[in-house]
Amino acid sequence: MKRGARRAWISSLFLLTVLAVFSASSVHAESVSAATVAEAPYGFLAGGHMAGMAFDAVNLIAREAGYTPTNSLVTRHKALAMLTTGTVDMVCLPPDSDVGEGVVSLGPVFTVDIIAVARAGSALRSMKDMRGKRVAVVRDAPYHQIVSRKNGMIPYLVKDMARGLKLLVSGQVECVVGTRAGVLFGVSGAGLPKRALGHPLLLSQGEVILFLSRRAASTPMRQRIAEALARLRQNEDFARLLVKYML
């Protein structure tokens, strides 16, 4: 190879290497990290794969904003810790999560009902009907201000809603408290007929909110994610997610 041709070849190789490194850096810069609370139907494993309405929503928002999402299933407590420390960029949190000052809210993704339900034939007209009753509630769920001995109830902590509903049907507890979404999904997960449950009592409403870490919120990511969230709301993509999970 002649000297001039060799120099041209080396220059071309160097340029390709620089472009490859730059391209890899750009791809990395366009990724976004997320965590999903491992509470059905927000986040769960199905056939060894992650799924759930919050899991899908976060990924949908990230892709709409032009990012490649990475996502993991963790407890509510760990999701909050990861968000506060900036270990992840964003989390879609279920209602009444005890967020600190180190996070930034971008607004609601879903609005959900928080309900109490008893067995079929047992009427729940108000919270007074729950006094003196054993009430199942998912261990990490933040409904302990409602389900408390102060309100005359006997809290019964369970690992998930499906377990609470099985205890309800078997008569080991008298009520279950959770989101309407969680109860309906729990009925399906426990393999129970809906007719086994009585008419639900609406206790309050809550919002599933998208939060960014302060680190992520201080970058252009904040505007891109916020604009993506607004577009998806307008196009009713989140409503279609609720239909997907039979909610």
Q: What is the CATH number of the domain that holds 182?
A: 3.40.190.10
pLDDT band at 176 (very low <50, low <70, confident <90, very high): very high
- Both 201 and 215 in one domain: the answer is no
128 has pLDDT over 90: yes
Q: What mean pLDDT is predicted for residues 111-119?
A: 92
21 has pLDDT over 60: no
- Both 176 and 101 in one domain: the answer is no
Please report whether residue 1 resides in a domain: no
Asked if residues 88 and 33 have their Cβ atoms less than 8 Å apart, the reply is yes
What digits encode the pLDDT tens for the residues 46-63? 888 999 999 999 999 999
Please report whether residue 187 resides in a domain: yes
pLDDT band at 94 (very low <50, low <70, confident <90, very high): confident
Q: Which two tokens stand for residue 89?
A: 């960029």
Q: Report in angstroms the alpha-carbon separations of 122 from 19, 100, 115, 184.
A: 69, 39, 15, 18
* pLDDT at position 93: 87
Q: Report in angstroms the alpha-carbon separations of 107 from 225, 226, 238.
A: 11, 9, 13
81 or 142, which is more confident: 81
- Both 122 and 193 in one domain: the answer is yes
- Both 126 and 73 in one domain: the answer is no
Residues of the chain with pLDDT > 90, as a percent, come to: 56
Number of alpha carbons in the 13 Å side-chain half-sphere of residue 242: 14
d(CA 147, CA 135): 7
Q: How buried is residue 47: exposed, middle or buried, by Cβ count under 10 Å (0-12/13-18/19+)?
A: exposed
96 or 85, which is more confident: 85
Asked if residues 156 and 134 have their Cβ atoms less than 8 Å apart, the reply is yes
The H or E element containing residue 35 is strand 31-37
Please report whether residue 2 resides in a domain: no
10 has pLDDT over 80: no
Q: Which two tokens stand for residue 109?
A: 């993704």
d(CA 124, CA 118): 7
* pLDDT at position 97: 65
- Both 106 and 211 in one domain: the answer is yes
Domain count, the chain: 2
- Indicate the range of 15-24, 84-93, 166-175 predicted with least confidence: 15-24
Domain carrying residue 71: 31-110+207-244
What digits encode the pLDDT tens for the residues 146-174? 888 998 999 999 988 999 999 999 999 99
